[in-house]
Amino acid sequence: MDAPTMPAPSAKIGRYRWVIVGLLFLAMVINYVDRQTISLLKPNLSKQFGWSETDYADLVFYFQMTYALAYLAWGKIMDKIGARWGFGVAFLIWQIAHIATACAGHLRGFMLARMGLGVGEAGGFPGGIKAVAEWFPKNERALATGIFNAGTNIGAIVTPLVVPGIALTFGWQMAFIVTGVVGLLWLPLWLIVYRRPREQTRLSAAELAHIEQDPADPVEKIGWLKLLGKKETWAFALGKFLIDPIWWMFLFWLPDFLGKRYGLDLKTFGPPIVVVYLMSDVGSVGGGWLSSSLMKRGWSINKARKTTLLVCALLALPVVFAANVSNLWSAVLIIGVATAAHQGFSANLYTLPSDVFPRGAVGSVVGIGGMLGAVGGMVFSKYVGQVLETIGTYTPIFIVAGSVYLTALLVIHLLSPKMEPVKI
């Protein structure tokens, strides 16, 4: 089938698709406020409830376990019912679980609440990637993904600015209740605004043609067994398995690292964390912009994506030295560059399913990869807890964090050397 006729260069395309990205961005802000709240409160909660390092690692582990299982399911759900209702239901589940954390009175209660959070939050990225695949042509998807993915960093910035004040003034329970109730305001906005492009009456004909400029591909649903037999599925999934644990580690243990290495606490580690995640935002948008810009200059998807992945992998390497840096702000700079590199790498890795798979498979492939990424996070969480419990230093942890991206790129290249469309 021929591609839809493109509007003349002088035609005004319109920008409604960026409204969708704006809503996804805001959802990711809320997602990471909910996810990171417990890591900021870890020193206080550990003291109040008597948690050991392995207790906290178990708390992270069970969150990631339910996240892994649910991620796989959400990928299939998004392909079946679409991003509008799929994302909306996932959002509601995770907000309720976040608020319910305030009712926990012992470790098991916290685990149950975090498991509920994992079930809901697992739908965030499958829904977001599905929405981007519906609303953007291939040469804009990495940028769109990078922008909405940057919401995770803003959430990680907002959390240390908001949560400590609430917790110190009103108690740790109110930190979960206030952020959860305020976050719920997003849901009706999403349900009102989001429709598929051809169902959205506010969308101009020129912008619809722009969105549908790529050759049409099959939209029928594709089973997991077929997808598991494709090397490209494993290129994405193993890439996620290798790099996702590093982001989880920074998210859940960075406040603890800053406290143990530099003596910071709930009142003082806010500014360093804000700087780290501001830098991450630059990496998320910059990584998406770089590959999209190279494609607009005529580079192939394969060359543009992998060049960007290589740049990000090299920028992450210096973090192997972060645990041994004596100056706080030097360490913050090194870690910030590494998290920025992660986000740039992740934004491009997330586009791989929509780059090479037909639309009917995108959500399922993202679900498979997200599940494997969370499994990697579970393994790494146990490793982090054991290292801190027995050795008491972050050095081995940061060595893994800096070296894994080059390994991931090698795996991706070996399994998808040309990033050609998958034939199913």
Picking from 71-75, 132-136, 216-220, 248-252, which range would have the lowest pLDDT averaged per residue?
Answer: 216-220
Contacts of 200-208 with CB under 8 Å at 24 or more apart are 200/16, 202/16, 203/14, 203/16, 204/12, 204/13, 204/14, 204/16, 205/7, 206/7, 206/11, 206/12, 206/13, 206/14, 207/13, 207/14, 207/15, 207/16, 207/17, 208/4
- Note the pLDDT of residue 167: 94
| Euclidean distance between CA atoms 112 and 146, whole angstroms | 32
Query: Which segments within 187-262 are labelled E, that is strand?
Result: none
- Note the pLDDT of residue 4: 42
Confidence of residue 217 (pLDDT cuts 50, 70, 90): low
Average pLDDT of span 213-218: 70
Summarize pLDDT for 333-342 with one digit per residue, the tens.
999 999 999 9
Using the Cα atoms of residue 40, residue 44, residue 48 and residue 52 in order, give the sign of their dihedral. Answer: positive
Domains in the chain, please, with CATH?
Answer: 16-415 (1.20.1250.20)
- Note the pLDDT of residue 213: 87
Summarize pLDDT for 147-177 with one digit per residue, the tens.
888 888 788 889 989 999 999 999 999 999 9
Q: Give the position of tokens 């050095």.
A: 395
Q: Give the position of tokens 């240390």.
A: 160
Summarize pLDDT for 302-334 with one digit per residue, the tens.
999 999 999 999 999 999 999 999 999 999 999
- Note the pLDDT of residue 65: 93
Report the candidate in 163, 168, 115, 125 with the shortest Cα–Cα distance to residue 145. Answer: 125
Q: Give the position of tokens 């910035």.
A: 157
Average pLDDT of span 405-422: 95
Describe the chain by its helix, strand, coil percentages, rounded to 5.
80, 0, 20
Average pLDDT, whole number, for the chain? 90
> 40 CB contacts (<8 Å, ≥6 apart)?
159, 160, 163, 164, 255, 266
Summarize pLDDT for 225-264 with one digit per residue, the tens.
888 999 999 999 999 999 999 999 998 899 889 998 999 9
| Euclidean distance between CA atoms 346 and 338, whole angstroms | 12
Is the pLDDT at 356 greater than 50, yes or no?
Answer: yes
Q: Give the position of tokens 């079930």.
A: 119
- Note the pLDDT of residue 218: 55
What are the structure tokens assigned to 109, written together? 């209660």
Confidence of residue 350 (pLDDT cuts 50, 70, 90): confident
Of 2-16, 95-109, 129-143, 263-277, which one has max mean pLDDT?
A: 95-109
